[in-house]
Chain A
Amino acid sequence: MAEATTDLKRTPLYVEHLAAGARLVPFAGWEMPIQYTGIRDEHLAVRTDVGIFDVSHMGQVVVSGRQALHRLQHLVSSDVRRIPEGGAQYSLLCNEAGHVLDDLFLYRLGETCFLVITNAGNHPRDAAWMRSHGEDLDADVSDCQANFAMLAVQGPNARGLVQRLADGKLPPRLHCCERTVAGVPLLVCGTGYTGEDGVELLCDPDQAGPLWAALVQAGARPVGLGARDTLRMEACFHLYGNDLDEQHDPISAGLGWACAEQTGFIGADAISKVRSDPALPELKLVPFVIEGPGIARQGNPIVGGGVVTSGTYSPSLERGIGLAYVSAARALPGTTLQIDVRGTIREAVVKTKPLYRKDQ
């Protein structure tokens, strides 16, 4: 609360957030809504109906030109060749040591044009890194953050709500296409960060206000970053800065599936060594549930080694949940962990992903 707010950036929806009664907090250099009515209400709205998030703080980089695919493949961990035109893919940006600089979503807008979505706090570094690697290839890397506002509409009724305002069929999951929604031309992507069905919408910043208003009018409930965090934790999605950072490799983080070392991306050799050494990784990221009372938080140590990297109260499970790096020997589902929560030992059980499923 005491953090200076003078240098914070505001999204094009700042006025809409104030009008909706948002509590705004500093986040990754932006003044963002953490909640409107309450984290639990907003969380459950996304699980049962439809919520709308302003995620305009997230960054965009466009890689385009004759050798765009080659340049992007040099930069990111996943097999970019497998993205069809109009397709989407989760990926990682790694350094030579095979450690994670950021996690990304890639959209293939055309044969030689890719849109990369970055995390707000990493965006300037990502853009600079991407511009300064693979420069010998015939492709441009441009920072397009100022060109886009980004909204996420998520929940079991999200797709239907957006579809009713759209001029054509929405793309399926992990696909994207251009559409007009509520009269606003935009890119619709079948992606999200909640574990629910839904879409993400990228539009001109000047159009964000009317688009937001139309979606709220149609029944989408504004949801802040607080519930975004509890939702993603139930779904076991990583948050960069918590569960991913330059101290951790993708294999330890459980993201080996997003790494195609044979493509030779920056960091592939180091990641390949971790994957092929039976003694590695020493630590693995696991989801856990606290069976009794108590909530573990980021930084709480695990007795015997390891640390909680994300922890919160799960409004769906009504228990403490989280993600922790633990020794490989403790990473098996069903293992009991003892977490030191401010001096009180709380017992937690290692689970499989995701922690929340629709049919529970």
Chain B
Amino acid sequence: MADPNYPDDLKYHAEHDWARIEGDEATFGVTWYAQDTLGEVVFFTPPTVGAALTKDEHYTEVESVKAVSDVVAPLSGEVIAVNDELSDNPQLLNDDPYGKGWLVRVRLSDPGEVDSLMDSAAYVSTLS
């Protein structure tokens, strides 16, 4: 676990999720703060491809030695890919939360929702 970092090219949800927007698709994950709070992640059970996610509602859980945590969808859409490598090696979520620790890829059902997310600076200001 490196030092705190919150990339500028991502959008953030108050429940400590990030979204990398690429047209009408997005990749979701959890932030450095979320993985640091959880501690070592030991299980990730991904949702199924095709599952419909609703913004602000939980769609999966990640479990650390310490606790289980619901993960909230930052945006609505349909799951088009899940990170199977993370199921096999959950520690990736701690090692690389914005890269190899991604959770799902989603086709957005309402790209307008992106406007409700925070940029990096706004999210960081919620953490203090």
Contacts and interface: CB of A to CB of B under 8 A. Distances in A.
B46 to A, nearest CB: 12
A39 interface: yes
A295 B41 CA distance: 12
Interface of A: 34-35, 38-40, 226, 230, 293-295, 297, 312-313, 315, 318, 342
A230 B40 CA distance: 13
A-B pairs, top 8 by smallest CB distance, nearest first, are A39-B65, A313-B65, A40-B40, A313-B42, A38-B40, A293-B43, A295-B63, A39-B39
A40 B39 CA distance: 9
Contacts of A230: 65
B39 A38 contact: yes
Given A40-B65, A226-B65, A313-B63, A295 B42 contact: yes
Q: Which of B42, B43, B67, B68 has the largest count of A CB atoms less than 10 A from its CB? A: B42
14 contacts: A35-B39, A38-B1, A38-B39, A39-B40, A226-B65, A230-B65, A293-B45, A295-B43, A313-B43, A313-B63, A313-B64, A315-B65, A318-B42, A342-B61
Contact of A226 (B42, B43, B63, B66): B66
Interface string B17-45: 00000000000000000000001101101
B128 to A, nearest CB: 14
Contacts of B39: 35, 38-39, 226
Interface residues on B, range: 10 to 19
Contacts of B61: 342
Contacts, number: 35
Contacts of B1: 38
Interface of B: 1, 39-40, 42-43, 45, 61, 63-68
Contact of A342 (B40, B66, B68): B68
B68 A297 contact: yes
A342 B67 CA distance: 12
A226 B37 CA distance: 13
Given A293-B45, A295-B43, A39 B68 contact: no
A40 B1 CA distance: 13
Nearest to A38: B40
Contacts of A297: 67-68
Nearest to A226: B66
